[in-house]
Structures are given as structure tokens and as C-alpha cells.
A and B are shown apart, each in its own frame.
Chain A
Amino acid sequence: MTRLLGGREATLAAACLVAALVFAAASPVFLTPGNLLTVLRNSTELLLAALGMTLLLAMGAIDVSIGMAMGLAAIVVGQLLMAGIDPALAGIAGPLAGAALGLVAGAVVAFGKIPAIVATLGLLGVYRAGIFLTLGGAWLSGIPTGLTDLVATPVLGVPPAIVLIGLAYLAVFVLLRRTPFGPHLLAVGNSDEKARLSGIAVTRIRLMTFVVAGALAGLAATFYIATYRNVSMTIGATLPLEAIAAAVLGGTSILGGRCTLVGTVLGVILIRLMQNGLLLVGVPSLWQPVVTGAMLLIVLGLEAGAGSEGLRRLVRRPA
């Protein structure tokens, strides 16, 4: 449990709380259930993409093509729906397509022996061209509403998508903490050389992680279609960097070997909470990227700076 709620999570939770209090004081709308649901709804794709990114970073990899993978999966889901396929099947096609694309990225990294950032940078270009060529320059629009219930009808006040995302997090948590996959993944993240020497099938772990991350991006695509019923050329362009920011804010190390799922959730929530709150209090949306960058700098800077220990103690004492 101490592992689960380490220093960074406490810092982030406190940051979310402070931000929420400030916004609530400045705008009467902020704390209404409707608005909080909006924040959650706006977080769906990022929650899933950041979860996949967390796993990749923990393994010492990264995937900057994840947004384009979501885009391609979204085209698959959208076109199946438009072809009149049963919505449930079309919805499942999202994660499947994502997993296939993740396998491609994993194979290039694992067999091509090139750093993940370079490999996925290349794939980013290839996928982007792929999106354009499959769309043929037009948008997918007017996609049938078959999946809309996923994001609309609240079950106990929460859309089913959020429940599904919770289940995805739970599944990944079990995978990490209750199966050998977790320790193996972290071992590869710490040092793939040592992992190999200790008998871990490094290549298989690599492939599996990319496949899981891809499937999560594909699930994000299903929710994307359910929410927007439209695919345009620019789909997913900002997703990878936001996912990296969220995971790193949460306390996952990009050097590998360390990850926290709670931290990632808090990182996503903090980013979206700030975007929503700033708009509510009247700060133009153009400043949002600046705020995202500043948050990264502040959180990491605080931790790096001398004051970090004191701050951590300050946050921990009540607990």
C-alpha cells in the first residue's frame, strides 16, 4: 500500500485538490456533478493511452505513434459501423486492430534492434500516411450511433466507458502485480541485459507490452468513435505527448523499471482538470499547452530540487 500511495501520488492528489478548491472558489460551476462528469468524459482516450504509455515507459520503451494507431483503429471501427456490422463486434474490433498495430511497433523495436523512440517516430509517419490514404482525403462522418450508449447512458451516474476503463486498469494492475509478466516487464525496464541473463524472454515481453499498449489505444479508438462519430485527418495528433506527460507527472520513470497506475490516473485527471478549470475561470484555451508544460516542470522540478524531501514530508504527515 505504501508503494501504491508513494510521494508522487500524494503530491499529485494534493495538487488536484488544491486546483479543485481554487477553481471551485472562482467558478460556481466547477464542482457541479455535470462538470466533473465532463472532465471525466474528456479524459477517456487519454486515460487509456496513458495507461499503455505507462507500461511502455516502465519497460524502458516509448511509443510516439500511439495516437496514429488510435486513428487507424478508429477508422476500422467507424467503417465497420457504417457497413452495418453489429456494434458490439465493431467495438471489439478497435482493441484488436490496436493490438495488431502494437505488434508491428513491437516487432520493429524487438527485431530491428533500434530504440523505440526512433522506430515509433518512423511508424508515426507511415501510419499517418496510412490514415490519409484509407480516408482518401475525406472524413468519416455521420457514423451510426451504435456505440453511443457506451459514453452516454450513465450507470449510477457514470458512463459505461468509465467503468470499462476502470476494468482495464484493474486488469493491467493484476497483470503487473499478480503474474510474472509484471516483474519481468520491470526487469527489462531496469536492464534488458540483466533480464536476459536471468532467463527472461526479453523479446516476448517487449512484444507483449507493445501489444497491450496497442490494444489499449484501440479501446480508446472505440470510445473515440462512440463519442465523436467522426474521424478526421488530424485524429490522435496530440495524444502521444499528452500521454507521456500524464505518465511522467504520475511518477513513472522514462528510464524504465518503475511505474504507478494510480499516479498515471492522477496525472491524466490533473491535466484535464486544469484545462477544464482554466477555461471555466476565463483563461483562453491557447494557454493550455503552456500550463501542461509548466505543470511538468513544477512537479519534476520540485522533486529534483532541495525542497522535495520537505514537501513530501509535509504531504505525508497527516497520513
Chain B
Amino acid sequence: MLRQLKLTLFAATLLATGALPASADPANTVAFVPQLIGIPYFNAMEEGGKKAAADLGVEFIYSGPVDTNPVDQLQIVQNLIDQGVGAVSVSVLDASTIAPVVEQAKAKGVKLFTSDSDAPDSGRAVYVAQATDQGLGYAIIDEMVERVGEEATVAIVSGEATASNLNAWIGFMQERAKDKYPKLTLLEPQYAGGAADRAAQIATDLMAANPDLKGIIGVASTTCPGVGQAIETAGKIGSVIGTGYCSPNTARSYLKSGSFGYSVLWDPAKLGYLTVWAGKQLIDGKPFEASVQLPGFDSPTTYDPATGILLLGEPAVFTADNVDQFDF
């Protein structure tokens, strides 16, 4: 019996070691820990990170949790720090995911910073931002009002209720609606977790509950397919406009069918590139300049020393007309 078990474990170990070699030089390695693996958004960041690693001559590790559980994410970060990786970037689920290890990282000389989702005041070295939370929240509301007018009812379907970056965007959507479009009715946000079918179910129920609904915003990229599909299935194309923060590839078929009016996103591959570049800068001990033009980037990235934010740029708006120009 013991032999059977040994064989099982041995086979597993073999399989596993065949999958990936251990990294060569930990100190010259930049790691990125996403909120969740297995979603196209973070995969695109991984691709960008790999490209940057090749360009800059560093090793790159991409490792994230299977569930959006803060302890699972913390465990990954902790192990990267124990390995003595040169720089670790985290798209935090919540500030608590790095709080317990900030001091350890400093003691070991590991540069710990955030990317994609921030933990302000945590002592992180820098935050690599796709766009400001404010810019993202405002942009999606502005684009929506442009399409449905100011006197409209719009619903919000988010992913995990516990994701701090999604909640921040929702907060700025509500702020924009209140300040600039007093006649716009934003329904209370609903949460679908990470499941596309739950998102579709909630979107369908929301359309039934609010016959005058004009738009649905899918906040997490995992909710976009559900929202688009629900509008198609309910036969509400044209009368309800779907949108969300999702990549052209995810939104393409919905943009073309008309269930999505537009989609707001940045290029996650560029964000991944910028993340690894920032990690390299930190490892080399080079300061960030106020404005830097990276190869292959349309516009220069800016750095604000007061907030410690390295900004990718403005988010892009994708529509049926321009979506085919992008592949990510």
C-alpha cells in the first residue's frame, strides 16, 4: 500500500517538475501575483510581463491563487519572499493580503509593490496603476450617459463583493452619478461572485425587475459574458445597453451582436509589461522619473511621487467599430 502511495506522489512530483524549472537567480527575478489565475485579463498581464522580462533580461514568475481567497494569495506572496525573489508585485485582493509581510520583505531586501489593485498606506514601494480608480469609474458612467441619456436607470453587476478595487470603481461611479447626472438612477450593485452564469441570472432578474432599465454595467471582467448573454437571451438588444471593464476579446461577440454598446479597459499586457519594468527599476535601485516613454507604448507613463503611483495612462473605450483592431 505504501508503495502505491509513494508511486502516486512520485509521479505527481515528476509531472510537476516537468512543468516548470525552478528559477535561476532569485535576486534578478520579478514576480507578479494576480488576484486569481485562469482568467484572460491576468493571462494578458502575464504575457506582457514575459515580454518585458525578455526585453530587460530578468526572470519572471507568475503565480496566483485558484480562488479569490486572501490567505491563499498571502501564502503565495510569503513564499516568494522566502525565496528571496528580487521584486514581488501583487494585485491585492485587499490590503490584508500584504500587510503581514511588508516588514519581512523589507528585512529581506525584497521589493514589494502593488500592481492593478492597490493597498495604499501599506508601505508598498510603488503602485503600478492602469488608470486612476476615479478615471475608470467616471469614464464608464460618462460613456453610458452619452448612449442612454441622463434620465435613465442603470444597473451594476459586480463580481466578488470582497474585491477592494471593484468596490472602489463602483464608489466612483456612484459619485459621478450623484455629482454630474442627478437624474440618472444607479441601482444598488449586485454581486455575482466569479461565475458567469450567476452574472447572467442576476442580469436577467434585474431586467425583469426594472422594465425601464437602460443599461447594465458588468464591473468584473468575469461578469461581462454573463451580462452580454443575458441581454441577448432576453431579446433586449437595443433597448438595454451592456458594458463593463472587459477586454476586446471577451467583449467582441457582444459588441458585434449589439448587446454591448462599449467596453472600457486598458491594455493588460502593457500593464504587465510596466509592472515588470517597475520591478526591474526597483531591483536596480533606480528612481522613477516623472515621465517615461517605454518601447511600444503609445503614450508616456507618468509617476506621481506624492502618491507613489506609476500610471499607465487613460483607459481605452472599445466599440463595435474599433474592436477588431485589438487582440487581447
Contacts and interface: CB of A to CB of B under 8 A. Distances in A.
B96 interface: no
A135 B38 contact: yes
A230 B265 CA distance: 20
A27 B195 contact: no
B186 to A, nearest CB: 14
A152 B233 contact: yes
B197 A34 contact: no
Interface stretch (B22-30, B139-147, B198-206, B290-298): B198-206
B161 A139 contact: no
A234 B193 contact: yes
B258 interface: no
Contacts of B229: 227-230
A45 B66 CA distance: 24
A141 B257 CA distance: 14
Contacts of A135: 38
Given A41-B233, A235-B196, A279-B190, A141 B205 contact: no
Interface stretch (A4-12, A255-263, A280-288): A280-288
Interface in B178-226: 188, 190-198, 200-202, 204-206, 208-209, 211, 222, 225-226
Nearest to B208: A35
Given A135-B38, A138-B40, A139-B39, A230 B208 contact: no
B191 A286 contact: yes
Interface in A259-312: 275-276, 279-280, 282, 284-286
| Interface SS, B side | helix
A38 B210 CA distance: 13
A232 B198 CA distance: 12
Given A38-B204, A279-B202, A141 B209 contact: no
A228 B232 CA distance: 10
B249 interface: yes
B153 interface: no
Contacts of B233: 41, 151-152, 227
Contacts of B209: 27, 29, 279-280
Contact of A228 (B193, B200, B202, B205): B200
A232 B66 CA distance: 12
A142 B246 CA distance: 14
A232 B229 CA distance: 14
A230 B196 CA distance: 8
B194 A284 contact: no
Nearest to A230: B225
B37 interface: yes
A203 B138 CA distance: 62
B250 interface: yes
A238 interface: yes
B208 A232 contact: no
A228 B196 contact: yes
A128 B190 CA distance: 27
A44 to B, nearest CB: 10
Given A238-B195, A286-B161, 14 more contacts: A41-B233, A42-B201, A137-B37, A137-B38, A139-B40, A141-B250, A152-B233, A228-B225, A230-B196, A232-B194, A235-B196, A238-B193, A279-B206, A280-B209
28 contacts: A41-B204, A41-B233, A42-B205, A132-B37, A132-B38, A132-B66, A138-B40, A139-B225, A141-B249, A142-B252, A227-B200, A227-B229, A228-B200, A228-B229, A229-B229, A232-B38, A232-B194, A232-B196, A233-B39, A234-B222, A235-B195, A238-B198, A279-B206, A284-B190, A285-B192, A286-B161, A286-B190, A286-B191
Interface of A: 27, 29, 32, 34-35, 38, 41-42, 45, 128, 132, 135, 137-139, 141-142, 151-152, 224, 227-230, 232-235, 237-238, 275-276, 279-280, 282, 284-286
